[in-house]
Amino acid sequence: MKFAAFTVMLPDLSPERAVTALAQAGYDGVEWRVTTIDSERLNETPSFWGNNFCTLEPTLENADRVRKLTREAGLELSNLGTYLSPGNLAVVEKAMQFAERAGAPSLRVNAESYKGDYHASFERSLEFYREVEKLAKHYKVRALVETHQGLITPSASLAHCFVSHFDPQHVGVIYDPGNMVLEGFETYLMGLQLLGPYLAHVHLKNAAFTRPENGGVWQPRWTPLEDGVVNFKDVLRSLIKVGYDGWLVMEDFSAARASLETLTHNITFIKNLLVEVQNEET
């Protein structure tokens, strides 16, 4: 398995600083956040989903920039963290053109959010994704849906229910056990076995629940990798059992440490767990 970080978790770093930091920390690759930031947020303090300095507009000039930055740092481009969903096929095609030019093997194109009628959302997403699959085949860039709370694919089984209608060569799944704390948890090994050839990519983050002072419904929060509901040792053990040899991509939203420290801490933590799991097998 290879290690990367999704630049959404590095909001205070420029792309140049980010690739240098990743290389120095021992990462193999980078997953670039590619989207348009609302101009009204550009004067805000850096944040994950607001004024994120490590975000790139989806222009062909930036595709060239991404390709150059990534290669010069000795890194690989693991995936593009795009924010695409059913609606505008032209926007998806523009993102795939970016991916092709940048040298990305895949990009995220999600199914619909759950809006109260699963079957209607499923059919609309299916119809749209048939065209997405054609674009993926044309541009030789794999389209990935994510196990994500709020979507019609929050679990491995629901993601598989959707992507099983497509060729796994062109369509796959980003498996995110951190998101599945909030919605969609299933036994890791069972879910990974079900995904089979559709398992394309893995995001690593963690979450936990906070009990209100006076009781009631517990609320979720993002936490450091080592302190939350996700049992990463079990996740890694399960990935090994299904023969996964792809990317492990850090996506830490805890803000427990500064960006540079987070990069070093997380890769050390996961690599140590991976050694422990591998030693169990011998």
Instruction: Look at residue 281 and tell me whether its pLDDT is greater than 80.
Output: no
pTM of the model: 0.97
pLDDT computed for residue 218 by the predictor: 97
Q: What is the mean pLDDT of residues 14-35?
A: 98
Q: Report pLDDT digits (tens) over 116-152.
A: 999 999 999 999 999 999 999 999 999 999 999 999 9
pLDDT computed for residue 18 by the predictor: 98
Contact 106, 65 (CB under 8 A): no
Instruction: Look at residue 39 and tell me whether its pLDDT is greater than 90.
Output: no
Q: Going along 226-269, which residue ranges are E strands?
A: 247-250
pLDDT bin (cut points 50, 70, 90) of residue 42 is confident
Which domain, by its residues, includes 270? 2-280
Q: Going along 103-192, which residue ranges are E strands?
A: 106-109, 142-146, 171-175
Q: Report pLDDT digits (tens) over 75-116.
A: 999 999 999 999 999 999 999 999 999 999 999 999 999 999
Give the largest Cα separation in the chain, rounded. 56
Q: Report pLDDT digits (tens) over 226-268.
A: 999 999 999 999 999 999 999 999 999 999 999 999 999 999 9
% of residues, the chain, pLDDT over 70: 100
Instruction: Look at residue 157 and tell me whether its pLDDT is greater than 80.
Output: yes
Give the count of domains, the chain: 1
- CATH code for the domain in which residue 127 is found: 3.20.20.150
**Number of CB atoms found within 10 A of residue 214's CB:** 5
Residue type at position 12:
D
Instruction: Look at residue 9 and tell me whether its pLDDT is greater than 90.
Output: yes
Give the list of residues 6+ apart from residue 179 with CB closer than 8 angstroms, or none: 146, 147, 148, 149, 154, 203, 205, 207
pLDDT computed for residue 43 by the predictor: 87
% of residues, the chain, pLDDT over 90: 97
pLDDT computed for residue 254 by the predictor: 97
pLDDT bin (cut points 50, 70, 90) of residue 168 is very high
